[in-house]
Amino acid sequence: MRALSYDGPYRVAVKQKPDPRIEHPQDAILRVTCAAICGSDLHLLHGLVPDTRIGSTFGHEIVGVVEEAGPEAREVSRGDRLMVPFNISCGGCYYCERGLTACCESTNPSSDVACGVFGYSHTTGGYAGGQAEYVRVPFAAVGPMKVPDDMQDEDVIALTDALPTGYQAAEMCDLEGGETVVVFGAGPVGLFAMRSAWLLGAGRVIAVDKVDYRLDFARRWAGAETLNFEQVDIITEIKGMTDERGADATIDAVGCEAAGSPMQRAVGIYAKNVAGSSVALNWCFHATRKGGTVSVVGVYGPPFNLVDFGTAMNKCQTIRTGQCSVKRYMPQLLEHVRTGRIDAKALITHRYPLARASEAYHTFAQKKDGCIKPVLLPHSGETVH
């Protein structure tokens, strides 16, 4: 089959790889019909996640059709269309039983820090990703959810990661109604966090980014006020808008490749002496009022970052964080999408055939051509924007 293949930092190509096969009785093989590129895939592309091996296939946002199901994945059958959470979860271990499928103990030999994830380095188990014609899906009857017949792939692809992650980010702010929420990052996860913050009762939502077309989208689509951190002193501005105290809650939807500090970028992103830049997280601490909440869903890889933890500690802040346990959010968010309260498809700006995956990555990474969310259509031959 054809699959995306990592060729070293900043390079991906599409190559021939062996077809996936059933390796466990609870596996299924999916013919991938839609695979999105996530902002966190860019951390892999840029060589920031440990144990990202040459030849790996990325892709953890997957919708596809079952080609073959293992003997113990009896509840799915050939022809079923599935949306697949990025977490690979057994459903019965200590954490899965309690709802934390993102912490499953059965799927990652390589590290204690995360469960198995599709196409996200050997630090998360070494699974092949879905940016390919076919993908192996372990525990196919447990994690994935069947796509309703009246919904298209593009309506639901965000339910596999970006939308639940954004929703969880807002949920972790523990809103009681009327609070001011500042969201750092107006990419897909940040935009979904803004929209979710309104659903969860926020009184005011402020988006921070440096990319004007994304801020414009945040105003139109998510109803947020916007600040461009390259045009203002961002912390002073946020405090000025919040009675000089800071926001009740902030969300870091950026992660380890934040702009805003040449020193952090030099040490973390270019020299790779630490695990990327922590500017967004440090700004969250400063932009949140004392006793407020900082919610972190931006991805940070091991081993460590230059985090201004003293500020958070002295300001008595609550820090909430975690990979999203996608499975538990899918049913409710599917209803929000179906009823039009969240138009998830609106974020998809670019559609590429698999053969042009490299172009898709670079357009997304460089924020060219108004790109917000690109998807790959592995069985289509045309580029449609």
The DSSP secondary-structure symbol of 270 reads I
Interface with another protein, residue 25, by CB under 8 A: yes
Interface with another protein, residue 204, by CB under 8 A: yes
Task: Give me the least distance between CB of 52 and another protein, in Å please.
Answer: 6
Pick 123 or 264: Cβ nearer another protein: 123
Secondary structure of 17-73 in the HEC alphabet?
Answer: CCCCCCCCCCCEEEEEEEEECCHHHHHHHCCCCCCCCCCCCCCCEEEEEEEEECCCC
CA proximity to 318, closest of 295, 302, 335: 295
Q: Which of residues 264-283 bind another protein (CB under 8 A)?
A: 272
Distance CA 245, CA 260 (A): 22
Please state the separation of Cα 234 from the chain's center in Å: 24
Q: 124: helix, coil or strand? A: helix
Q: 87: helix, coil or strand? A: strand
Interface with another protein, residue 336, by CB under 8 A: yes
Distance CA 90, CA 155 (A): 26
CA proximity to 102, closest of 87, 117, 119, 124: 87
Pick 54 or 149: Cβ nearer another protein: 54
**Residue 361, number of CB atoms within 10 A of its CB:** 24
Lay out the site mask for another protein across 347-376 (x = CB under 8 A, - = otherwise). Answer: ------------------------------
Pick 245 or 380: Cβ nearer another protein: 245
Interface with another protein, residue 253, by CB under 8 A: no
Interface with another protein, residue 295, by CB under 8 A: no
Task: Give me the least distance between CB of 7 and another protein, in Å please.
Answer: 7
Distance CA 68, CA 29 (A): 5
What is the residue whose two structure tokens read 């004007």?
A: 212
Taking contact as CB under 8 A, which single stretch among the options 185-193, 245-253, 285-293, 333-341 is the one that binds another protein? 333-341
Task: Give me the least distance between CB of 385 and another protein, in Å please.
Answer: 25
Among 1, 65, 93, 235, binds another protein (CB under 8 A): 93
Residue 256's alpha-carbon distances to 41, 267, 312, 345, in angstroms, are: 12, 12, 18, 26
Task: Give me the least distance between CB of 357 and another protein, in Å please.
Answer: 16
Taking contact as CB under 8 A, which single stretch among the options 5-13, 152-160, 181-189, 252-260 is the one that binds another protein? 5-13
Cβ pair 196, 171 in contact under 8 A:
yes
Interface with another protein, residue 46, by CB under 8 A: no
Interface with another protein, residue 101, by CB under 8 A: yes
Task: Give me the least distance between CB of 315 and another protein, in Å please.
Answer: 22
Give the amino acid at 372. Answer: I
Task: Give me the least distance between CB of 76 and another protein, in Å please.
Answer: 9
Please state the separation of Cα 70 from the chain's center in Å: 28
Q: Which of residues 123-162 bind another protein (CB under 8 A)?
A: 123, 125-129, 138-139, 141-143
Interface with another protein, residue 99, by CB under 8 A: yes
Among 9, 148, 262, 291, binds another protein (CB under 8 A): 9
Widest CA span in the chain: 61
Judged by CB under 8 A, the number of residues near another protein is: 93
Interface with another protein, residue 328, by CB under 8 A: yes
Taking the CA of residue 312 as centre, how many other CA atoms within 13 Å lie in the half-sphere pointing to its CB?
18
Sign of torsion, CA 210 347 254 122? negative
Interface with another protein, residue 92, by CB under 8 A: yes
Pick 25 or 314: Cβ nearer another protein: 25
Pick 32 or 224: Cβ nearer another protein: 224
Interface with another protein, residue 14, by CB under 8 A: no
